[in-house]
Amino acid sequence: MNKRPQLLSYIPSLDGIRALSVLAVIVYHANKLWLPGGFLGVEVFFVISGYLITLLLLAESEQSGSVSLSQFWMRRARRLLPALWVAVLGVVVFASLFQREMLGTLRGDVVAALLYGFNWFQVWNGTSYFTSFEFVPLRHLWSLAVEEQFYLVWPLVMLVVAKLGKRKLPSVGVLFFGMSVGVAIYVAMIYRSGTISTIDQTPQQFMSLFGHSVSRIDFLFLGTLTRSGGLLLGAALAIWWRPWLLKRSQAGSDGSLFDLVGLVGLGVIVFAMFKFHTVVEGTDAGTIGYDFLFRGGFFIVDLASVALIAAAVHPSSYIVSRSLGNPVFVWLGRRSYGFYLFHWPVFQFYRRFAGIGLTPYEFVVLVLIALVFTELSFRLIETPVRHGAISQWWKKFRAPSYGSDAVTRQRQILFVAVFSLLPVFGVVSLVTAKVQVDEITQNLTDNQQNIVDLLDSGATAAPVVVSGTTILGQPPADPGSLDGRVIDILAIGDSVMLGAANVLTERGVTVDALKSRPFRQALEIANYMKSINRLGSVVIIHLGTNNTVDAQTLDEIMVPLKDVPLVLFVNVHVPAEARQNKNNLLLSEMPSRYENVKVFDWNAVANAHPEYLYNDQTHIRIEGQKVYADLMMQAIGRP
């Protein structure tokens, strides 16, 4: 009995879309200044996945009358698991050999990655996806976790759809589209604008998940439900836009219109990738989320992706399908899964911290290294496993062997034993490793005892009027700790200054430094200290590492500080962030407008002496802290 011909044949142009999407993500991961919206490539992947998986299940149900859950899940397992296991094992082995101090903190990531729950692991633990100063070589696996969770549930949905019959399919497509719109509305309603800080300072930016407080923006960006909009929209397209039906319908006769639709969709995606902001960014008011992204931005990209996919699979499309289906794009698209898996660990083991932007030269070299791993995985692991190589080898291995076959088997056993030494060593090292705090975190923790907290959000003080605006000054957490004295040298800073607090206090400086502090808090501190007449001879301000500042805020800060003999602004060194140059330019203009202002060019010192900095290229090592403090004291005339 002849088998019925396959309804769904290979569509090269979809691999072309995959290639462009993965390139966008990788460029963003390399240096987000190059493509600030490159993370949207993941959203395009979601739409493609929703479309293709639904299409495959529809084709199977039309051919056989049902959906085989076991066969679907087995195909997915063969496609996804081997390369994932190799990538995760490679990370473990590399870390056990070269960065053993990270193994303890890596253990939870590995377990979450192998269980395809990395997105919820990050949400639950509060290890924000957006933190720049962290070493997380498996962070990118959150999106694969979302897709795998979809793959577990969706065949069950399509099994029910198959039983409804073909006549109900258009209504099912409407339902899927409505569900996607519902997800977009839910995300917009749950999202909160405004500053994002700790749960005590910004409780509205947190929510309860099974009684546990989690970051609202992490929940929305990483959550399976909240990121399912693209998957559902792709599924709706699959219901309405099945290639085997298009070939027989009037809609499949003229592709010129759909070429135009596809080009518009591609244009919208490219425009969004260049114009959309980073998901969270530091501003004058503090760290904020990208409002538009969560209030329709994702849905617009999903619609544009639908338009592009519809044109790419159209049987009469010429421009879109042929340009996207070129051999280079197809080659990369077929390897996009492995490329995505391997590029991020390669980037991270080189630069250590997620927020460090690569140079073009570094990018090219590291991408080539990632492509080597990708090709090896594709040829030696992914393709053989998909074609049943493991089961065939196991069947042959178990069969009785004599003579040369027995020798071959012994060599195979020896090869496997030798090859397993490093993985076993890595796994044992991971399991037995102690959790160690990284150098930067340890340094900041040690210096907490060397600072004075001048702000207490639970109390209020007499209002201070600045430029016609009433701002509440805030009393110190422990008013008695100031002993009624004037603070001769007051330093206000963020985590960079916090790391050097012990060295500064040794030189007679009173330090109030806080991680991720926005410039606006310097205004609050200055207002309060002015209101109680505690400002002395010098005020030092080193802020802007995590946030931008504007000229108006700087002018407002100078109102309570106008009678201070010397105000020293320290410029910032954050080479991976666009705000570095913006902030430093504004600070450089201050001495021309205020006679009592000087600027200490820490950025120039850090550029000339990178050895003073930790691997994140921002926070200061112990040897650099002494130079930092000494140069600062020289700048205020107190060497």
Mean pLDDT of the 559-587 span: 93
479 pLDDT more than 60: no
Distance, CA of 616 to CA of 133 (rounded, Å): 6
The reported pLDDT for the residue numbered 472 is: 33
Distance, CA of 546 to CA of 516 (rounded, Å): 6
Q: Which residue's structure tokens are 């589209």?
A: 177
Instruction: Kindly list the distances between the CA atom of residue 272 and the CA atoms of 184, 300, 329, in Å, as whole numbers in the listed order.
Output: 17, 9, 21
Q: Which residue's structure tokens are 């990370």?
A: 91
Question: How many other C-beta atoms can be found within 10 angstroms of the C-beta atom of residue 201?
Answer: 11
Which 3-state string (H, E, C) describes 500-539? Answer: CHHHHHHCCCEEEECCCCCCHHHHHHHHHHHHCCCEEEEE
Instruction: Kindly list the distances between the CA atom of residue 81 and the CA atoms of 76, 89, 145, 381, in Å, as whole numbers in the listed order.
Output: 8, 12, 12, 10
216 pLDDT more than 90: yes
The reported pLDDT for the residue numbered 330 is: 96
pLDDT tens sequence across 227-247 = 999 999 999 999 999 888 877
Give the confidence band of 470 by pLDDT, cuts at 50, 70, 90: very low
Lowest mean pLDDT among 128-132, 379-383, 461-465, 562-566: 461-465
Instruction: Kindly list the distances between the CA atom of residue 242 and the CA atoms of 256, 306, 330, 471, in Å, as whole numbers in the listed order.
Output: 18, 13, 21, 61
Q: Which residue's structure tokens are 């340890």?
A: 442
Which has the higher per-residue pLDDT, 319 or 472? 319
pLDDT tens sequence across 156-199 = 999 999 888 888 899 999 999 999 999 999 999 999 999 888 88
Give the confidence band of 2 by pLDDT, cuts at 50, 70, 90: very low
Distance, CA of 13 to CA of 505 (rounded, Å): 63
Mean pLDDT of the 466-494 span: 58
Q: Give the predicted TM-score (pTM) of the model.
A: 0.86
Percent of the chain with pLDDT over 90: 67
- Reading the block at residue 442, the tokens are 């340890």
pLDDT tens sequence across 519-569 = 989 999 999 999 999 999 999 999 999 899 999 999 999 999 999 999 999
Distance, CA of 289 to CA of 303 (rounded, Å): 22
Mean pLDDT of the 37-61 span: 95
The reported pLDDT for the residue numbered 263 is: 95
Q: Which residue's structure tokens are 């003080």?
A: 461
The reported pLDDT for the residue numbered 466 is: 34
DSSP per-residue codes, 22-41: HHHHHHHHH-TTT-TTGGGH
Give kind and range of the element (H or E) at residue 93: helix 69-98
Q: What is the dihedral of CA 305, 307, 310, 315, to 10 degrees?
A: -130
Lowest mean pLDDT among 84-88, 225-229, 438-442, 522-526: 438-442
The reported pLDDT for the residue numbered 173 is: 95
Nearest one of 501, 362, 370 to 444, comparing CA atoms: 501
The reported pLDDT for the residue numbered 485 is: 81
27 pLDDT more than 50: yes
* Contact between 378 and 335 (Cβ < 8 Å): yes
Which domains, and CATH codes, for the chain? 16-387 (no CATH), 441-635 (3.40.50.1110)
pLDDT tens sequence across 407-436 = 666 666 666 666 778 888 999 999 999 887
Question: In whole angstroms, how large is the CA radius of gyration of the chain?
Answer: 29
Give the confidence band of 516 by pLDDT, cuts at 50, 70, 90: confident
Nearest one of 45, 295, 289, 300 to 186, comparing CA atoms: 295
* Contact between 561 and 567 (Cβ < 8 Å): yes
Give Cβ neighbours of residue 454 (< 8 Å, ≥ 6 apart): 474, 476, 477, 512, 525, 528, 529
The reported pLDDT for the residue numbered 256 is: 82
Give the confidence band of 404 by pLDDT, cuts at 50, 70, 90: low
Give kind and range of the element (H or E) at residue 215: strand 212-215
Give Cβ neighbours of residue 113 (< 8 Å, ≥ 6 apart): 84, 88, 138, 141, 145
Mean pLDDT of the 599-616 span: 94
331 pLDDT more than 80: yes
Distance in Å from the first CA to the final CA of the chain: 94
The reported pLDDT for the residue numbered 250 is: 62
pLDDT tens sequence across 376-387 = 999 999 998 887
Distance, CA of 81 to CA of 353 (rounded, Å): 27
45 alpha-carbon distance from chain centroid:
16
Instruction: Kindly list the distances between the CA atom of residue 224 and the CA atoms of 181, 219, 515, in Å, as whole numbers in the listed order.
Output: 15, 9, 30
Q: Which residue's structure tokens are 């037995």?
A: 432
Mean pLDDT of the 257-286 span: 91
